[in-house]
C-alpha cells in the first residue's frame, strides 16, 4: 500500500469493524479496504441485483387505483 487514509469513527463503528475483522481473521485495514472496494466498484445492474431476481412477490391489487397502476406499469 502506498497511501494512508485516516478516518474518524464513533466507538460502536470501530467495535463493529474489530468484531468483523476478528471473525474473518483479518486486520481492520483489510476489512475496510474490502468494504471500500465493494462500495466503489462499478458493476452491471444485473450483477448487483441478480440475487434478488424472482424474489419479489406482489400482492394482488384490491382497489381500483391499485389495479390501474398495476395494469399501466406491469411488464410480463
Domain ranges of the chain: 1-44
H or E stretch at 73:
helix 64-73
pLDDT at 76: 57
C-alpha cell at 13: 463503528
Q: Is the pTM of this model over 0.85?
A: no
Q: What is the mean pLDDT of residues 46-63?
A: 68
Taking only the tens place, the pLDDT of each residue in 6-52 is 999 999 999 999 999 999 999 999 999 999 988 888 877 777 777 76
Cell numbers placing 46: 444485473
pLDDT, mean of residues 51-58: 66
Amino acid at each position: 500500500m502506498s497511501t494512508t487514509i485516516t478516518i474518524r469513527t464513533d466507538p460502536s463503528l470501530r467495535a463493529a469493524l474489530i468484531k468483523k475483522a476478528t471473525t474473518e481473521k483479518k486486520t481492520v485495514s483489510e476489512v475496510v479496504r474490502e468494504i471500500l472496494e465493494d462500495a466503489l466498484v462499478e458493476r452491471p445492474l444485473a450483477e448487483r441485483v441478480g440475487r434478488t431476481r424472482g424474489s419479489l412477490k406482489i400482492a394482488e391489487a384490491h382497489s381500483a387505483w391499485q389495479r390501474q397502476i398495476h395494469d399501466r406499469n406491469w411488464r410480463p
